């Protein structure tokens, strides 16, 4: 494991613990109710998790959109601007780097993928599902599928979110035996999705992030414009495709350096022997190129090795 990979693992672990830093729940049987819950969790982290110290932007946004009629009726202008604004600031700075460095559920998937087994890819078209999940389950249904009181449900949390089941549903059922009788088909349905994604994570790399995560879909919209991102130096790239083999998100970085799936984990940067991939901040290159092989003219070297003159 390279130094940067170790740093990333530490950052992921520390941020996961920071977002879930309230460990009094085994005694209190309560979730954390302190002032830190006004802070947005950058990654997907259920705020009903007993240890959670931050709010989940996807859950909070659905709740606000679902209650928008009631709020307006009471003269409260809760449109989700605070939440979308916070996500937008994060997106403008780092975009999906959050997925690679700060998402607890991303970390869980990465750890599961280390379990030895046959490994499979994920069809490219499945990346578009998450945009539909964001639009339909997080925005449209909570906003328009309302009950007689005019209140919408958080559809994504209620019917799909595996992070919520793992971090909140299961711990709460374990902590409160009296709740177990109320766990019906809805919970079984969500449990099924959790099991599917956990098993899928062993067989394929980050399946939830790549196919379903609405938060990842939101951050993906910043991939071309975010401040900190990986940049390809076409002068140094030999198209050797070393970056294809190591990417946990199935990105072909030399072909699409601004791919919406890139989580800036820097696996490609480490794998590139020609120093063609590096970080940039707002257009300015960060750090010096670390070329692992002498560069005279990379393209000519590669062509000559292929017998092309």
Partner 1 sequence: MTVKKDTIRHTPFILALFFLIMVGVGIYFKEPSRVMHQAWQICLSCIGIG
Residues in touch with partner 1 (CB under 8 A): 31, 33, 35, 37-38, 46-48, 52, 54-56, 59-60, 63-64, 71, 76-89, 91-93, 153-154, 157-159, 161, 164-165, 168-169, 172-173, 179, 182-183, 186-187, 189-191, 222, 225-227, 235, 280, 282-285, 297
Closer residue to partner 1 in complex, CB, 6/39: 39
| Two tokens, residue 148 | 């007689």
| Nearer residue to partner 1 within complex by CB, 124 or 292 | 292
Nearer to partner 1, 119 or 285 (CB): 285
The distance of closest approach from Cβ of residue 238 to partner 1 in the complex, given in angstroms and rounded to an integer, is: 13
CB nearer to partner 1: pick between 189 and 246: 189
Query: Measured on CA atoms in the order 171, 174, 175, 179, is the torsion positive or negative?
Result: positive
Exposed/middle/buried for residue 31 (C-beta within 10 Å: 0-12, 13-18, 19+): buried
Q: Which is nearer to partner 1, 37 or 252 (CB)?
A: 37
Q: What is the CA radius of gyration of the chain?
A: 22
| Smallest gap from residue 284 Cβ to partner 1 (A) | 5
Q: Under a CB-based contact definition with an 8 Å cutoff, are residues 246 and 254 in contact?
A: no
What are the structure tokens assigned to 154, written together? 């958080």
**Helix (H/G/I), strand (E/B), else coil: 144:** helix
Q: Cβ closer to partner 1: 140 or 280?
A: 280
DSSP 3-state assignment of 64? helix
**Shortest Å distance, C-beta 143 to partner 1:** 16
Q: Which is nearer to partner 1, 74 or 309 (CB)?
A: 74
Query: From residue 238, how far is each of 78, 192, 231, 268, 296 by CA, in Å?
Result: 52, 44, 15, 14, 12
The distance of closest approach from Cβ of residue 63 to partner 1 in the complex, given in angstroms and rounded to an integer, is 5
Give min distance, CB of 236 to partner 1, in A. Answer: 8
Could you tell me if 232 and 243 are in contact, meaning their C-beta atoms sit under 8 angstroms apart? no
Which residues lie below 8 Å from residue 231, measured CB to CB, with a gap of 6+? 257, 277, 278, 279, 280, 285
Q: Please give the DSSP secondary-structure letter assigned to residue 34.
A: S
Report in angstroms how near the CB of residue 145 gets to partner 1 at its nearest.
Answer: 14
In the complex, least distance from residue 121 CB atom to partner 1, rounded to whole angstroms: 30
């Amino acid at each position: 494991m390279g130094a940067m990979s170790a740093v990333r693992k530490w950052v992921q672990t520390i941020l996961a613990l920071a977002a879930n830093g309230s460990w009094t729940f085994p005694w209190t049987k309560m979730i954390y109710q302190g002032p830190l819950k006004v802070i947005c969790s950058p990654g997907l982290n259920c705020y009903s998790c007993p240890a959670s110290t931050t709010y989940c932007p996807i859950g909070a946004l659905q709740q606000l959109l679902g209650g928008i009629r009631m709020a307006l009726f009471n003269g409260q202008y809760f449109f989700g601007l605070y939440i979308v604004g916070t996500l937008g600031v994060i997106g403008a700075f780092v975009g999906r780097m959050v997925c690679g460095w700060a998402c607890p559920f991303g970390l869980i998937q990465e750890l599961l993928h280390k379990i030895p087994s046959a490994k499979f890819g994920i069809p490219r078209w499945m990346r578009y599902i998450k945009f539909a999940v964001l639009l339909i389950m997080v925005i449209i249904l909570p906003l328009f599928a309302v009950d007689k009181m005019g209140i919408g449900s958080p559809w994504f949390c209620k019917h799909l979110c595996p992070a919520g089941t793992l971090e909140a549903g299961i711990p709460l059922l374990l902590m409160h035996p009296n709740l177990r009788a109320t766990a019906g088909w809805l919970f079984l349905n969500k449990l099924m999705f959790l099991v599917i994604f956990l098993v899928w994570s062993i067989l394929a790399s980050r399946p939830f992030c790549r196919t379903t995560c609405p938060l990842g879909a939101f951050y993906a919209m910043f991939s071309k414009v975010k401040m900190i991102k990986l940049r390809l130096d076409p002068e140094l790239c030999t198209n050797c495709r070393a970056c294809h083999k190591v990417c946990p998100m199935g990105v072909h970085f030399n072909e699409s350096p601004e791919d919406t799936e890139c989580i800036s984990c820097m696996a490609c940067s480490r794998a590139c022997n020609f120093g063609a991939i590096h970080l940039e901040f707002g257009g300015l290159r960060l750090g010096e190129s670390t070329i692992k092989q002498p560069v005279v003219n990379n393209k000519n070297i590669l062509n000559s090795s292929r017998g092309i003159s």
